[in-house]
Amino acid sequence: MNIQTSAVMAPPAPRSLPEMQLPIVMMRDILLKTMFRKNVEIVTEIARAICLPVPVTQELVDLVRSQKLVEATGTLHANSGGEMGYQLTDTGKARALDALTQSEYYGAMPVPLAVYEEQVKRQSIKNIQLNRAQLTGAMGHLILPPSLLDQLGPAVSAGRSILMYGPPGNGKSSISNGIRDALGDKIYIPRAIEYAGQVITVYDPIVHSAAQEQTDDPTSLRRSAGRYDTRYVLCDRPTVVTGGELSLSMLDLVYNPTARTYQAPLQLKSTGGVFIVDDLGRQAEPPQALVNRWIVPLEESRDILALQSGEKFEVPFDTLVIFSTNFHPNEIFDKAALRRIFFKIKIDGPGQEDFLKIFALVARKKKMPLNQEALVYLLKSKYPTIGNIYANYQPVFLIDQMIAICEFEGIPYQMTPDLIDRAWANMFVKDEAIVR
């Protein structure tokens, strides 16, 4: 896979306070709040808490010390490595408390939006190039026709929007997850970004899967703190999956009035990765309204967000958006909306040959012995009643039903025409009136 290594994509660590490109007052207040909340005293501990290199942290400590907000307490105990200790002065404590009333945010210094935009370019989803073997490997657990891979491959490699549509139960969600798995590499997610003096938290342990972090040996002469900017977390390319619960409000900044900070919306958290809108058409808002919200991001690779003040600003939009629906696109979109979605891929049910392959794979996985007589009965007696229309979910459903019956009856797993009948009866609901 032609993917940049994480070392090449690594955000460079700042080497001085001016390189931080953050307001001095903001950095000062975050330092004071962090020392107050976390009770850290030595520079290496403070540096770890605010996620900055030790020299830059020392520069910031010296600055606030010159303002008489911090004072030195002398060399601490042996476990501190002989480092100088620092504590807040009374004036520093008062300033920390005042700063906390304005914003509860403390800890990692945020990354300025302009700096983050450069990092997004370094690790863009559009830099990924997949070949057929890699995509097939990620989809190895699925039985897919080669013609479908012919369509999926260019769509994923282009990093453009994809609409998958077709009858329910044929693996659209599984294919979306396979695309996610095919990406495979890791990128850097900022813990928080800054715009106009406001902090927007981005890293979310629920969305982002962090890689194993290396910790420095405090006794080592060569520190790896400058390896990359630790205001970022090295993570798998993110995947956000939403379904019927998706609403337009979830695509806006979330303001916490208590902490006076913002949380990034879902699409910003998915930057550099995949955003899957499953079951499109089942949301409270109509599909047309949802896609209209994405028109500018999909066409211009930028999104527009708004602060509580009403001020609007641009953020990068670098996300592979996958829409999945059981409705025909012409039923839920107008032509203008469809034009904005770059790839439209129909996901049909399997033919009889692929259906039997899926059935055999599921049976083997679930330790259900195959029985030729039962399979012939299924194909010749049952499927003609529904027009010989096969779906990918049906083998799992039927075999699970037969397993449940066998376990209830206390008999070994087996496949018989009688069990096929009993399993089939639970797969469909008869269209008949209910007498009240």
Region 343-351: mean pLDDT is 87
Q: Is the pLDDT of residue 173 over 80?
A: no
Instruction: Choose among 305, 306, 344: nearest CA to 322.
Output: 344
Q: How far is CA 313 from the centre of its chain?
A: 23
**What does pTM read for this prediction?**
0.81
Q: How far is CA 262 from the centre of its chain?
A: 18
In angstroms, the Cα distances linking 162 to 286, 300, 304, 320, 428 are 18, 16, 21, 8, 31
Q: What is d(CA 427, CA 333) in angstroms, rounded to the nearest whole number?
A: 31
pLDDT recorded at residue 435: 62
Helix (H) or strand (E) segment spanning residue 233: strand 232-236
**275 neighbors 324 (Cβ within 8 angstroms):** no
Centre a 10 Å sphere on the Cβ of residue 186 and count the other Cβ atoms it contains.
20
Q: What is d(CA 406, CA 418) in angstroms, rounded to the nearest whole number?
A: 12
Q: What is d(CA 348, CA 147) in angstroms, rounded to the nearest whole number?
A: 11
- The one-letter code for the residue type at 233 is V
Helix then strand then coil, in percent of the chain rounded to 5, is 45, 15, 40
Q: What is d(CA 280, CA 264) in angstroms, rounded to the nearest whole number?
A: 22
pLDDT exceeding 70 applies to what percent of the chain?
Answer: 92
Q: Is the pLDDT of residue 77 over 60?
A: no
Centre a 10 Å sphere on the Cβ of residue 229 and count the other Cβ atoms it contains.
20
For the record, the structure tokens of 40 come out as: 């850290």
Mean pLDDT over the full length of the chain: 87
pLDDT recorded at residue 305: 96
pLDDT recorded at residue 213: 58
Q: Label residue 432 by pLDDT band (50, 70, 90).
A: low
Q: Label residue 431 by pLDDT band (50, 70, 90).
A: low
Q: What is d(CA 253, CA 264) in angstroms, rounded to the nearest whole number?
A: 5
The tokens 């797993």 sit on which residue? Answer: 413
Sorted by sequence, the CB contacts under 8 Å of residue 421 that are 6+ apart come out as none
Q: Where are the alpha helices (DSSP H) in 42-183?
A: 43-50, 54-66, 90-102, 113-122, 132-138, 146-158, 172-183
For the record, the structure tokens of 50 come out as: 């605010």
